[in-house]
Amino acid sequence: MFRGVDFYSDTLTKPTEAMRKAIAQAEVGDEQKGEDPTTLKLEEKMAEILGFSAVIFLPSATMANQIAIRSQCEPGDEVIAWENAHIFLAEAGGPAVHSGVLAKPIHSKDGVFSAEDVKAAYRSIKGAHYPVSRLVCVENTTNMGGGVAWPKEKLDAVITASKEFGLRLHLDGSRLFNASIAAGLSLRELAASFDTVTICLSKGLGCPAGAILAFDKNQYLKIRRLKQLMGGSLRQSGILAAAGLYALDHHVVRLQEDHDNAARFARFLQDLDAVVVENPLPSTNMVYFGLRNSKIGDRIFLNRCEELGIRFSHVGENRFRAVTHLDIKKVDIERAITVLKEVFKSV
């Protein structure tokens, strides 16, 4: 196991001692029978926060996204989303496997697209020969786009355009709490007008596992069956839901620290001649960068970093990602910069 300053992902956070205590003390029951009180409490609380009539607890955000797609599409339908959205890039082809849908990707550098993009992607021609545009997926924040929090006016425009064409809307809000902090808007405001919403608990909120899917209660039996179908039904899930409840009370406001640390790291990186920073003013908790001298080689760079105690994600040729999170402190940022200077001396 890597031991050092780990920028690989915000999924690497360890439960705090206080969160572990909440987990240990959780009241539990059989979730599959609807009898786990802690899970029910988390679902009710998230429904209230998001302004939805129903929420279901799931093992992962990937499962939540796949259930959302399956519940709103028929095989042969088209799903419109950013070309590098998590549902297309990092869910093992799930939309094709679980729902039999076609991907209609939208090109965008940072993952934010426009109403005009939706109109261009929508398949207006109708007939028995053609697939049907059915669902628009928005990712907020945009992971591979630099952790960008959608501006509210662009989000509203995409929602309006989608509804004009009768398209359904799914919000992959795995990091929606980060988006909320960055945009200064409530989760309810960001989730408004979407048919389904995913939120991951094991990223910025620092839980060991778990996610939720919000939807209309009229779809409950369908969603519940899809949870069973995809292997997501649980037993005493209160031990995981308790972590979510603790995080809602203690780990939301502190997300601003992650954003500040990302901004601090980006500023330091810009002072290094060997580095080109892709997003020098990070929107949330992600910094993307490359090496000015790509001849060094990606693997040599990453290996040397790990040898000296820092780790990044490798997300493309000469493209690296640093993610700040609960376990990254200000002192870790300073240590990482010191190590990077040493790395560039040695390579």
Mean pLDDT by 10-residue block, N- to C-terminus, for the chain (347 residues)?
A: 93 96 98 96 98 98 98 98 98 98 98 98 94 98 98 98 98 98 98 98 97 98 98 96 98 98 97 95 98 88 96 97 97 95 85
pTM: 0.96
Model pLDDT, residue 43: 98
Residue 107 is given by DSSP the state -
Tell me what pLDDT residue 164 has.
Answer: 97
pLDDT of residue 1: 82
Q: Do 211 and 58 meet the contact criterion of CB atoms below 8 Å apart?
A: yes
Element holding 171 (H helix, E strand): strand 168-172
Angle of helix 238-250 versus helix 37-50 axis, rounded to 10: 40
Residue 171, both tokens: 């919000």
Paired tokens of 191: 């989730």
The whole-number pLDDT of residue 296 equals 84
The answer to whether 209 touches 240, Cβ cutoff 8 Å, is yes
- Domains delineated in the chain: 16-250 (3.40.640.10), 254-346 (3.90.1150.10)
Q: What is the pLDDT of residue 2?
A: 86
pLDDT digit string, tens, across residues 208-264? 999 999 999 999 999 999 999 999 999 999 999 999 999 999 999 999 999 999 999
Place of tokens 């915000």: 10
Question: Element (H or E) spanning 316, and its range?
Answer: strand 313-316
